[in-house]
Structure 1
Amino acid sequence: MTVDAQEEFVAWLRAKGYSEGYVRRVLAVGKAALNRAWKRQEVTEVPWIELPPIGEPYPHTASDDQLAAFLNAIPEDSHLWAYCMIRLNTGCRDDAARDLQPFQIDWAANLIRLNPEGRQQTKKYRPVVPLTATLRRELEALDAAYYVNWHGRHIGSIKKAWAKVRRNAKLPEWFAPKVFRHTVATELRRRGVPHWEVSGQIGHKRAGTSEIYAKFDPDYLGAARTALDAWMADLSRKVPRMRGQSGVSHLRKVVGGTRIELVTPTMSR
C-alpha cells in the first residue's frame, strides 16, 4: 500500500473509465476498512491513503420529453414503473426506492419513512417525505412485500432493465437512474419551492431535535408536495399510463384573482 501502489491503482481505475467520484469512493471504502482494523487493534499501523479530489457534481437533468419517452417505453409488467414513480415523487436514491416496503407508509399522515425502523442512518440520509397524491394512488394498487419487485422478490439491481428501456426510448447514455434525483431537485426549485424544503425532500438536510415532530404538521414540506403533484400532472399529458393517477388534473385561473389554483378531482367534477 505504498504511495506508488496507490497511484497505480487509481490510474488503473481511471483507465477502465470510472468517474472521479467512483474512484474516490473505492479508495474511501478501503481507507475506512483499514482505519477500523487499526481502531479494533487488529493491526498495529495503517498506511496513509490519499483520496482523489471530489469530482464535479452530476451535470445532467432530464427534460419532460425525455422522462416521458422513458416512462412510455417501460413494459406493462416491468418493475421499473413502480421504481420510477417512487423516485420521481420522492427524490430518493436508488436503494431507498428498491427497499421501500408497505410498513414504511403512514397512510393516515400521508408520509413515507424512507429509512425503515431499525436501519441506522448513514451519510446518505433517508428522510421522511410527504406521500404525494400521485404516488399514493400508485402504491395503493400494489400488493407485495416490496413495491419494486420481480414476482414478489426484492430487486437487487435495475441496471439491466434500465439499460434496455433507455435504448428502446432512444435516450443518451448519460440518462442513468441518478438523473431522476437531480431532475427532481431542479424541478422543485424551478417551481419556486424554497431551498430548505428541497433540501428536506431529497435528504440533504437532516432533521434536528426540534424538528422531530415537524413531519406531523399538515403543511410539512407542503410546497414540495404540491409542486411534485403538479409536475406529475404535467407529465401525465405525455404519459397515458399516468392519467388519472395525479391528484391534480389541470390548472385554472381563480376568478377575480391573479393566482392559479390547483384543481383536485373533487373540484373538477
Structure 2
Amino acid sequence: MFRYCTNPDRQIGESKKAYAKKIKQRTELLHFLQISVSTWARPDAAHDVSTDPKRRQWDPEQRKLRLNPKGRTQTRKFRPTVPIARQMAPLLNATTGYYVNVASVRQAWEGMQSALGLPGDRESGLKLIRRSMAQLARNRMTRAEWIEGKIMLGHNRPDQSDLYGMDEPGDLPRALEVTEQIIDEIIMLAPLAFAKIDADPEAKSDSE
C-alpha cells in the first residue's frame, strides 16, 4: 500500500512530469495510511487530525495526539489521546492544519484496491489499517499489556486502575514501542513510507 503511493509502477514512456503528478495525487492517501498506522484510529478520526493549535490535538513536546479535538463531544466511539511514533512526529511537526487535507480518501482508496487486487468488500475498506494494526499489535503484546492496545483503539476509556503506573492519558509505552516496531518493518519494505513528500498546500476539499 505504501509503495503504491511512494513508488507507483511507471508506465513505459511515462514522462517524469506525469510520474511526479501521479505520486502527488496519492499524497493524501499516503497521509491517511501514515496517520492510521501511527494512531490505530478509526477512519473518521484519522481524517480529523489537525495541528492547528486552536484544536489542541497535537502536543509536539509530549509527542502525544488527542484524537478528539477541543470542542467535540466524545461519543460511544471514544477518541483517545495516543502517543505518536518517532517516525511520525516530524511529519506532524511539518504540517499546518489538517494532516489528511481532503474530506475523504475513499475514492483514492478504491483506486488502490483495484490496482492491488484487494477484495472490494468491507474487509478491505478504510478500516483495514485499524484492524491490521490491532491484530499485529495483539500478537506482540501480552494479555496484561493489551490494556494499552484497548486504550489506543478507544475500546477502553482509561480509569485510575488502567492508568496505574502511567503518568497521564496518552502514556502508553508498550503500545508506542510496538507501533514503532511495525513502522520500522514497513519502512524496510517501503523506504519512503514515512518520508516527507512535498505537495502544494491546499484547503481541505470535499473529495480527492
Report the TM-score, using the length of structure 2 for normalisation: 0.73
Number of the residue aligned with 2:179: 228
> Identical aligned pairs, as a percentage?
29
Q: Deviations over 1:160-200 (max 9, x none)?
A: 11111221223222421111111111111111252201101
SS for the counterpart of 1:124 is coil
Segments of structure 1 that go 5 or more residues without pairing to the other structure are: 1-69, 150-154, 246-269
Aligned to 1:71: 2
Q: 1:158 aligns with which of 93, 105, 113?
A: 105
Q: Look up the equivalent residue of 2:109 and give its one-letter code.
A: W
Instruction: Tell me by how many angstroms 1:214 deviates.
Output: 7.6
Show the counterpart of 1:241.
Answer: 192
Amino acid at match of 2:91: E
Residue in 1 that maps onto 2:117? 170
**Runs (5+) with no aligned partner, structure 2:** 6-21, 197-208
Once the two structures are superposed, the pairs formed by residues 192-211 of structure 1 within 5 Å of their partners are 192=141, 194-208=145-159
Separation in 2, partners of 1:130, 1:184: 15
Are the equivalent residues in 2 in contact too, given 1:214–1:220 (CA < 8 A)? no
1-side partners of 2:149 and 2:169: how far apart?
Answer: 17
Which one of the candidate residues 134, 146, 165 is aligned to 2:98? 146
Compare relative contact order (CA 8 Å, sep 6+) and give the higher one, 1 or 2: 2
Q: Matched residues in 2 for 1:125 and 1:226: separation?
A: 22
**What's the RMSD between the two structures over aligned residues?**
2.5
How many residues matched? Answer: 170
**Over residues 30-63 of structure 1, what are the superposed CA-to-partner deviations in whole Å (9 max), with x where a residue is unaligned?**
xxxxxxxxxxxxxxxxxxxxxxxxxxxxxxxxxx
Q: 2:164 & 2:135 partners in 1: Cα distance?
A: 27
SS in 1 for 2:124: coil
* Matching of residue 83 in structure 1 with residue 32 in structure 2: yes
How far apart are the structure 1 equivalents of 2:170 and 2:80? Answer: 16
Q: Distance in 1 between matches of 2:194 and 2:98?
A: 24
The structure that has the greater radius of gyration is: 1
> Structure 1 residue 109: deviation in Å?
1.0
Alignment check: 8 A CA contact 1:128 1:215 kept = no
